A and B are shown apart, each in its own frame.
Chain A
Amino acid sequence: MKYLMTTAAVLCATAAWAETPVLKVYTYDSFVSDWGPGPAVEAAFEETCGCDLQFVGAGDGAALLARLKLEGARSDADIVLGLDTNLLAAAKETGLFAAHSVSADYTLPVSWSDDTFAPYDWGYFAFVHNTDMTAPTNFSALADSDLKIAIQDPRSSTPGLGLLMWVKAAYGDEANAIWSGLSDNVLTVTKGWSESYGLFLDGEVDMVLSYTTSPAYHLIAEEDASKAAALFDEGHYMQVEVAGKLAASDQPELADAFLSFMVSDAFQSIIPTTNWMYPAVTPTAGLPDGFETLITPASSLLLSPEDAAAARDGALAEWRNALAQ
């Protein structure tokens, strides 16, 4: 009975909105949660677009792409928001995306020119620790230390894959040696970010693979200055999160409008304290107080989508062999 009523309610709602165009944005789950950017973004965009913006959440970035592939060209998504550079080669290969017309002065530490995907935020991967310890300054020092770390499995988690690319981008053919050195430091590998971060907060590990922006959450939302990210002198690997327009969208103009809105101040100023990442275009008001305390890597590492896709299987085998010993 309850489901009948729900279905009826949905049908009625659809009928009532028939006049208003609907823009469907597929994104990862944490973007649409009550604590993510979703609700604020929806309110801000609907003020100006005369449309109904609907977010559909699907797991994380990888699950999002899998979902899109399942639905294929019949998908009623207009926009996909939340892929990162490691997934872009696979995303382009689907042929489901159309070129965008967005232009903006991105404040990314690397130059961005991609005609299919536009970035909306970015961050650096980093090992987060408590400030009561002296953190190592590179992977070799970490490998030589007795510190215990928790990382995520690159086969099930996007940050986990990011770490794989980080070591690969920084050390190339010597990545294998670095992983062998790290194998006694890796206390455990978890399915996703939440599990690792939970282990760290419970004091089970000294450091956890996360983002340089993680301490900002504790500082701003919890007024807790006891967390910091370790600055590594090899440079830090970046995660750039992007959105793209689907070729089969029935609202192409609205989709373009959304992508332009995405790089505007209204959207970008929501990002730092909801997604806890750096905005792709720094808002005119600047970053929120607290972000100035975060570490700034000397160099930014990022493999192109093609290189990342090509390196993945080899790097994964290397990782598995080094840690399985």
Chain B
Amino acid sequence: MAQRARTIKTAVFGGPIAAGTALGLILAALLAVMSRADWPVQFSASDWAVLRFTVWQAVLSALFSVVFAVPVARALARRRFFGRAALVTLLGAPFILPVIVAVLGILAVYGRAGWISDFLGLFGLPPLSIYGLEGVVLAHVFFNMPLATRLILQGWQAIPAEQFRLVGQLGLPPRTVLQALEWPMLKQTVPGAIALVFVICLTSFAVALTLGGGPRATTIELAIYQAFRFDFDLGRAAILSLVQLVVAGTAAVIALWVLPPLALQPGLDRPVRRWDARGRLSRAMDAIWIVVAALFLLLPISAVVIKGVIGLGEMPASVWLAAWRSLWVALLSTVLLVAAALPVAAWLGQRESGRAETITLLGLAASPLMIGTGWFILIYPVADPRLFALPVTAVVNAMMALPFAVRILVPGLRQIFADYGRLSAAMGLQGLALWRIVLLPRIRLRLGFAAGLAAALSVGDLGVVTLFADPEVATLPLQMYRLMGSYRTDAASGAALLLLTLALCLFWICDYWGRHAAR
């Protein structure tokens, strides 16, 4: 233990600094907004109702996403089939789609005029109506189940191959495998995944509003939006932002508190072959899960693609320029992310519990509108905020991707420290050498995924750029919204397809780098 502690200090003194910077960026924005507020601020009965709905839909969305993700991840972990790599890459797609595009894609399948309703109509059945809490949860599961699947899949792949082989040689039944190998891994992975999805759903508001069917489905984020724009009540906006941070923080603390201390056995970095899952029943079940998940994801995405192909020809040249600009922002943001995420994850990976991870989750829980406004207030007295539109967007995007990256990297690093911590310490490996020889080669798989997610997320993010917007410097999502706002729906669909393609390519490149040169 003492030896492990020594490795920690030398390897990761940058962790607290990077995490603190991310926290500082949020708090600075919050304080800036507060400094311009009129006090006192009312928190009314209807605000409590909004808070209840916000938390309830986020809880349901998180549970359904993760419960669905576990069997899918398990099936993907132990089967090899044609198109598996493509499917794993596509798991990144829903998450990076702009909300409006994804919602229209979901409705093309499940809507009143959607494919399923058309099919039901053939038999004289009434159309499907998903508006309400079920629609909100459905959309959130569409956005987040793939992410949860990837997170849990990483966990499965981290179980050393020797252990599965041993289980196979001993001919132990699947139930024992579950108890001995998979359950401890799930206990490590699932609470963090639930916390992450919960926080994402907490700040969603366009999805909740559109599919919730009315003012019942109001989230705190909408109240923040209203406070900033219609009422210009900065005090109320600040208080609501704070409530959102506190709820997210509490949830994260609860979820991460239950993360058990690490008790995994060291393994030899070999590819996993499953000897325990060759039964006919388990193969059939896995096949069903994979097909259901693939259909659930691919149908709405193909609706987006079909509409987009029609619109490609109508896209004005400015869309390509915007795509180029978005690419730059994404690359900058990915570099920033990697620079921040590695030290933070290494720092957290050596701690027994995951409590400190809460700090990074706050980056997601902070309203982008609050961060944007706060930084506008801070920058405005000294410089023209428009000059900073793209750099600020890149920084904020990196901060938003940090919780994902940390969640992806920490379990892996925790395992590496458990496996190699003593050896590295004994050999006196420290600082950069420790990273280069021990950590990076073993974390590459996860790092590729994290970087890909950050790049894709950044391409698709509308976020703070709207507040700093300059007509000359529009990003691709902003340009797509502009097309939609001026009736050019077909061209907007084309832009959405370009956005999806660009984001997926970036995601794929990073992910491929991670998966293929690893080990």
Contacts and interface: CB of A to CB of B under 8 A. Distances in A.
B487 A58 contact: no
Interface stretch (A135-143, A182-190, A291-299): A182-190
Contacts of A2: 328
Contact of B482 (A6, A29, A189): A29
B373 interface: yes
B209 A190 contact: yes
Contacts of A92: none
**Residue of B230, B377, B478 with most chain A CB atoms under a 10 A cut-off:** B230
B318 interface: yes
Given A29-B485, A195-B103, A62 B230 contact: yes
Interface string B474-511: 00001001111111110000000000000000000000
B225 interface: yes
Interface residues of B, number: 57
B239 interface: no
B471 A276 contact: no
Interface stretch (A165-173, A198-206, A247-255): A198-206
B70 interface: no
Contact of B215 (A6, A187, A319): A319
Nearest to B319: A34
A198 B488 contact: no
A242 B469 CA distance: 21
B205 interface: yes
A252 B215 CA distance: 44
Interface in B337-380: 373, 376-377, 380
A10 to B, nearest CB: 7
Contact of B108 (A59, A66, A202, A217): A202
Interface string A201-216: 1111100000000100
A324 B232 contact: no
B46 to A, nearest CB: 7
Nearest to A65: B232
Interface in B19-70: 36, 46
B486 A155 contact: no
Contact of A153 (B108, B222, B232, B376): B222
Contacts of A33: 471, 482-483, 485-486
Nearest to B114: A204
Nearest to A210: B487
A204 B316 contact: no
Contacts of A10: 387
Contacts of B488: 35
A191 B377 contact: no
B432 interface: no
B457 to A, nearest CB: 20
Nearest to B33: A70
B215 A198 contact: no
Nearest to B49: A324
Interface of A: 2-3, 6-7, 10, 29-30, 32-36, 38, 55-59, 62-63, 65-67, 69-71, 74, 90, 148, 153, 155-156, 161, 183, 186-195, 197-199, 201-205, 214, 217-218, 221, 276, 319-320, 323-324
